[in-house]
Amino acid sequence: MQTNPTPIIASEILIAPGDPGRLIASGKRVQRSQVGDRIYRLLLFLSGISILVIIAGLGIELAVGSRESIAKFGFSFLTNGTWNPGALIFGALPFIEGTLYTSFWALVLAVPVSLLAAIFLAELAPDWIGRPLSFLIELLAAIPSVVYGLWGLFVLQPWLVKYVEVPVSHNRFLSKLPIFSDTPNGYDMFSASVILAIMVTPYITAVSRDIMRAIPRSVREGSYALGATQWETIKGVVLPYARAGFIGAIMLGFGRALGETMAVTMVIGNSPQFKTSLFASGYTMASVIANELAEASGLYRSALIEIGLVLFIVTMIVNMIARTLVYYTAQDMHGGSRKKG
């Protein structure tokens, strides 16, 4: 009696002896799959590298465009407070100070609101209000800056002058403070700071909310098991756990405020002098470029491009620090959850 031959396993496919055609076809499919994988990995690699190439290209182009200003003024460009295009004397210090000053006050206004909103959305809000509110907050980030600028110019600015700046300037105690010493006119750094605060709030809120939601549930359950209330858990466990992530979120908002152009340009007053008074007009690095680049040439244009280079470097450093803090916070959270598991 004739017995059936034992099947041979090749590439995880049963192939009977005497059927070489099927073995060849299976080998071809494996080869095609490997070629496709190589092409896919190559495309992913090129996509990732292209981001670095674009960033490097931006930096090189800005450095090349500002070489005339760098050669003439050197480091004094960053410390000189005179900006006189007629005399070809350029110093970026008033714009650097204006950028940092408005961004600082924007964070002073935005951070408390953003963190409280993030705590509410991540820890307290029921789904029926938390999801729509999260969507609306994130929607604020999608509004074009020119729309914010128009709203700030026609709505926010008159309201601030009438209900904030004039009452403060008439107050005999507050008006003596250096930050409120100038006569309010609406076109000032206070209006710019408020509109920046509104614009960075969605970024800080969204990142802070996601950081808190990423905290393992076991951390909260352990606190509740020890008898802590919800508020005690938030205060003593959740907030310390996410502290580095909050700092990263704030830094991201700071980076966003540094580079804002149109909205700030429309309300800040555009004066190439820096004063500590919030009611004084000022300039930021982004707004001076937007206002003056079209009419500039030669050394004037090179100085404006160097301001762009300074803004590019500062923004890159701030965002790198922020991303690093957020990344390590997430790593700590995942590591903590694995250790507890």
Q: Measure the CA–CA gap between 203 and 254, rounded to whole angstroms.
A: 10
Let me know how long the chain is: 341
Q: Measure the CA–CA gap between 266 and 297, rounded to whole angstroms.
A: 24
Which CATH class name applies to 67-340? mainly alpha
pTM: 0.80
Report residue 8 as tokens. 């041979």
Cα R_g (the chain), whole angstroms: 29
- Where b means 16+ CB within 10 Å and e means fewer, 280-319 reads bbbbbbbbbbbebeeeeeebbbbbbbbbbbbbbebbeebb
- What ranges do the domains of the chain cover? 8-52, 67-340
Kindly give the confidence (pLDDT) of every residue in the chain, 341 residues in length, as a single tens digit, with 9 standing for 90 and above: 455 555 444 444 444 455 555 555 555 666 666 777 788 888 988 988 998 899 899 999 999 999 999 999 888 888 888 898 888 889 899 999 999 999 999 999 999 999 999 999 988 888 888 888 888 888 888 888 899 999 999 999 999 999 999 999 888 888 888 899 888 888 999 999 999 999 999 999 998 998 888 888 888 888 888 888 888 888 888 888 888 788 888 988 888 898 888 899 999 988 888 988 999 999 999 999 989 888 888 899 999 999 999 999 988 888 888 777 777 766 665 555 444 44
